[in-house]
Structure 1
Amino acid sequence: MLDEQTAMLDAALAAAPHGKKRAGEDYVFLLLFEQRQGAICFAAAAAGAVYGLTLGIVKREALHFVFGVIAVLMTLVNANQTCLPFFGNHPKI
């Protein structure tokens, strides 16, 4: 599976115009880097949820705020696929 992923990334870089090879490499690096950051965010949210289970219901209000912000921002990020102007646009739709 890792070989297939590497082959796809190499094919994407090979398809970049000659003068934009470095930009293509940087783009692929950033895509992979941002995916790792997203995974860390989800792991942190999960750890916070587990920790929240050890707290009394009144002391969980900060966690509710964090999870509410995550929910709103994730909704807005996913809404850019609706092609509504104020949500931005997804370049592959």
Structure 2
Amino acid sequence: MPFAILALDNPECETLRTALRPQHLAYLDAHHGEILAGGALLNDLGQAIGGLLIVDTQDRASAEAFVAGDPYTKGGVFGSIRVMGWRKSFFDRRRTGSISG
């Protein structure tokens, strides 16, 4: 089942984010089979302030375990994390599913 993971950074964590970035990317590469889409969230200056991932896991607990294992989570980069079910309606500039309900 697809889940959206919205993770917002703790304030003043840019140095920590930069230091942990190689481990974070290696973690995502190792789990690429579960990731449908993802990337950094940016402020108006183009600086990373969090991340958004769409993952396909068995259940919510698996999605929560996925983000819990991320080096950004373990290292304290993320200040808040929300895991929410996601229904694909539009993808790659096209409607791909139902948009009702």
TM, length-normalised to structure 2: 0.26
Larger Rg: 1
TM, length-normalised to structure 1: 0.28
